[in-house]
Homo-oligomer: A and B are copies of this chain.
Amino acid sequence: MTEKKQAILNAALDLFIERGFHNTPTSLIAKEAGVATGTLFHHFKNKEILFNELYLSVKRNMIEGLQEGLNTEISLLEKIGYIWGYSLNWLIKHPQEFRFFQEFGNSPVISKITREEAMNLFANIAEPIIELSESGLIKESYPEFIMDYFQGMMYTTVKHFMKYPEKFTDENISQAFEIFWNGLEK
């Protein structure tokens, strides 16, 4: 990846979050990235493609570290805890990326293909969560709900700590996981 291409992605992330997709001129992205307008279109065929590439790039960044931690031999519960902890931390440390997911997770600008590629990235992260729903360790339920509940609680928690940064203490973090887990327990 060229330096300029990366600069464009960085500028685009900030601007799309702050102003939304349709309210962010490509000229502004280029300006913030310190390149000419033409350069933007040299690297990304059009604005939509830029957006889709950005989406995948952010997803990849988030997953990168997660993958590695899961390769070790640990129990299912430990895996769940690890995924929760890692994700929570990563999202809190990357507030822009978190807002990006929140705002654009359902955006029609993201193409089917991009969505599929993103799904594939998450395949082996989703696995332990699905496994959990079938493990007998928790209330009887179905995988789709557990998956959505996990993600929902995660987002709710991050959003909360982002709104009240002073509440982001070890104690409150533990409590959040506890609430999540107590909800599921038999």
Contact = CB atoms under 8 A, between A and B. Distances in A.
A172 interface: yes
Interface stretch (A59-67, A68-76, A80-88, A155-163): A155-163
A149 B175 CA distance: 12
A116 B173 CA distance: 30
A131 interface: no
A156 B102 CA distance: 13
A21 to B, nearest CB: 7
Given A20-B20, A20-B107, 8 more contacts: A22-B22, A102-B106, A139-B175, A139-B178, A139-B179, A148-B159, A182-B185, A183-B183
Contact of A22 (B23, B103, B141, B157): B23
A22 B144 CA distance: 33
B144 A149 contact: no
A142 B156 contact: no
B144 A164 contact: yes
Contacts of A144: 160, 163-164, 167
Across the A-B interface, give the 3 residue pairs with the lowest CB-CB distance, nearest first: A152-B156, A22-B22, A183-B183
Nearest to A99: B106
Contact of A175 (B19, B23, B141, B179): B141
A156 to B, nearest CB: 3
A41 interface: no
B163 A156 contact: no
